[in-house]
A and B are shown apart, each in its own frame.
Chain A
């Protein structure tokens, strides 16, 4: 990724390679570029207001929504004409940069007259802050003086930013308030370098809402159309592939029906209905319930050795009434449990009765 910072004093190109930001070049004029760059320009300190506030809200969306009302009295511009850019810091601290739409409009016109359409419009204080952090990485706190303004960086926070009206008075103020903070002079092209650096961080962007760059709007629109096209393509693919597969399965089912001897002609449903109508089963001559031999054989194979006293088996209900003795209650219980489990012969869905009189047991159940 490449970022190009442009200010009145010149331009600087920074490239990010393997997480390291390197200065490609800096100079008084913009060089012709054959690469894709993120162009950053900055509003002068005099067109920007820096304020600090704190909100108990944690979500960025909520903070952005609440901020205009919160800072209404802090900003010297009419609310409708204000563009706010909050920079969220840890512990709910907020450093706020604000400008007026008219200033931004004027800046953009000025840039357009030079053939520049910036992707991002930041401001000089943030540019100096970025430059200071980049140029003096070992210094946590730093006061940077440029030709016409002063920026105080305390950690990640831009703690002070002001245009010089009285350089000596501001310096004295800083020195008295922050005696341990080193004061450095901004080097040549510090502001364009700082603007380019801000392009990587993107904490301040005044090109919001109606000022969003046209190319960004186009990119969003292009992305939206791509999304719509992809969704339509996906829908068409699902419809096409799904219909094809269903058609294939229907064809296979038609062939199967012909193979099974279902009547020919008509739709799948019509063929099935006609086939179903033709399949009328007559009552069979065969006995569908177990034979007496099979019932007696089943008793003889039981592990529970019961002594049958009386057995009655009647058709067509296939009901069995059994009166038996068992050598022990455990044997009888085992037989009862076997009946309840519904072995191969017994229809467990129908009623199974069980009566005990001393060592004799009476049960009735149905065969299937």
Chain B
């Protein structure tokens, strides 16, 4: 190596070209990543628009009396009520049994929603509802309620027509043992309802 400087200087254009190509590739790679991200975002927005259109259509077609028709009319713990009914005919003096039967049959143990807040949006209204009091039910009853509220299918139960958009915003479940020694769930709910 007589002139090491020449050898080093001669490598400069090579290094500059390699640096240029490398940095341009990196910039391009960043742009490709950004295109992929934006494409995903665009697809997500498109998908969201479709879902929102479906929900909007559901809201427009919603039955205003859906909760009163299907939820408020549900009777819970019917098996227990039947058994207590049978027992109480033999144990008329058992006030606890009588009291329990009254609770189950009188309508005290039904879903009664009270309105918390109502807000008018551009094309629909949003209503926040809560249960007036907690309700006792068994597993099958809970399935029926969730099918009617969340619109899912849980065999043999399926959702009803005219369901507004209903979302459970607060769900509280407490398991306890009933008088008949059966396990029951004490359920408290808050809902967000969107309707026309």
What separation, in Å, do the CA atoms of A309 and B32 have in the docked complex? 52
Residue on B with the closest CB to A221? B2
Residue on B with the closest CB to A312? B172
Least Cβ–Cβ distance between B113 and chain A, in angstroms: 16
Interface 1/0s, chain A 153-170, versus B by CB < 8 A?
000000000000000000
Q: Is the CB of B45 within 8 A of A281?
A: yes
Closest 3 CB pairs of A and B: A242-B21, A235-B13, A239-B17
Beta-carbon contacts under 8 Å, A299-319 to B = 307-316
What separation, in Å, do the CA atoms of A39 and B7 have in the docked complex? 30
**A-contacting 9-mer, from B51-59, B68-76, B80-88, B90-98:** B51-59
What separation, in Å, do the CA atoms of A100 and B17 have in the docked complex? 50
A-B contact list, 28 entries, CB within 8 Å: A224-B2, A224-B7, A231-B10, A231-B14, A232-B10, A232-B14, A236-B17, A238-B18, A239-B21, A242-B17, A243-B21, A246-B25, A268-B31, A269-B31, A276-B34, A279-B38, A279-B45, A281-B45, A285-B55, A285-B56, A285-B194, A286-B48, A291-B150, A291-B152, A293-B147, A293-B150, A315-B169, A316-B169
Name B3's contact: one of A224, A231, A239 (CB within 8 Å).
A224
Interface residues of A (CB under 8 A from B): 220, 224, 227-228, 231-232, 234-236, 238-239, 242-243, 246, 249-250, 253, 256-257, 260-262, 268-269, 272, 275-276, 279, 281-282, 284-287, 291-293, 296, 307-316
User: Is B61 among interface residues, defined by CB-CB distance under 8 A?
Assistant: no
Q: Is the CB of B152 within 8 A of A293?
A: yes
Q: Is the CB of A238 within 8 A of B17?
A: yes
Residue on B with the closest CB to A276? B38
Given the contacts A279-B42, A281-B45, A235 and B194 also touching, CB distance less than 8 Å? no
| Residue in B16, B34, B171, B174 with the greatest tally of chain A CB atoms within 10 Å | B171
Name B41's contact: one of A261, A281, A308, A314 (CB within 8 Å).
A281
Residue on B with the closest CB to A273? B34
Given the contacts A272-B38, A292-B168, A314-B171, A235 and B28 also touching, CB distance less than 8 Å? no
List chain B residues, Cβ under 8 A from A227. Answer: 6-7, 10
What separation, in Å, do the CA atoms of A308 and B139 have in the docked complex? 13
Residue on A with the closest CB to B22? A242
Interface residues of B (CB under 8 A from A): 2-3, 6-7, 10-11, 13-14, 16-18, 20-21, 24-25, 28, 31-32, 34-35, 38-39, 41-42, 44-45, 48, 51-52, 55-56, 59, 142, 146-147, 150, 152, 154, 165, 167-175, 194
What separation, in Å, do the CA atoms of A31 and B171 have in the docked complex? 112
List chain A residues, Cβ under 8 A from B169. Answer: 314-316
Seed contacts A286-B52, A292-B171, A311-B172; 11 additional CB < 8 Å A-B pairs: A227-B7, A231-B13, A232-B14, A253-B28, A275-B42, A276-B34, A293-B147, A308-B173, A310-B175, A312-B171, A315-B170
List chain A residues, Cβ under 8 A from B146. Answer: 291-293, 296
Name B14's contact: one of A235, A269, A314 (CB within 8 Å).
A235
List chain A residues, Cβ under 8 A from B172. Answer: 310-312
| Residue in B10, B44, B45, B56 with the greatest tally of chain A CB atoms within 10 Å | B10
Least Cβ–Cβ distance between B142 and chain A, in angstroms: 8
Residue on B with the closest CB to A242? B21
List chain B residues, Cβ under 8 A from A231. Answer: 10-11, 13-14
Name B13's contact: one of A232, A308, A313 (CB within 8 Å).
A232
Least Cβ–Cβ distance between B170 and chain A, in angstroms: 5
Least Cβ–Cβ distance between A215 and chain B, in angstroms: 15
Residue on B with the closest CB to A224? B6
List chain B residues, Cβ under 8 A from A235. Answer: 13-14, 16-18
Least Cβ–Cβ distance between B4 and chain A, in angstroms: 11
List chain B residues, Cβ under 8 A from A260. Answer: 35, 38-39, 42
What separation, in Å, do the CA atoms of A220 and B171 have in the docked complex? 88
List chain B residues, Cβ under 8 A from A268. Answer: 31
List chain B residues, Cβ under 8 A from A261. Answer: 42
Residue on A with the closest CB to B2? A220
Residue on B with the closest CB to A321? B172
Residue on B with the closest CB to A217? B2
Given the contacts A235-B13, A242-B24, A279-B38, A291 and B2 also touching, CB distance less than 8 Å? no
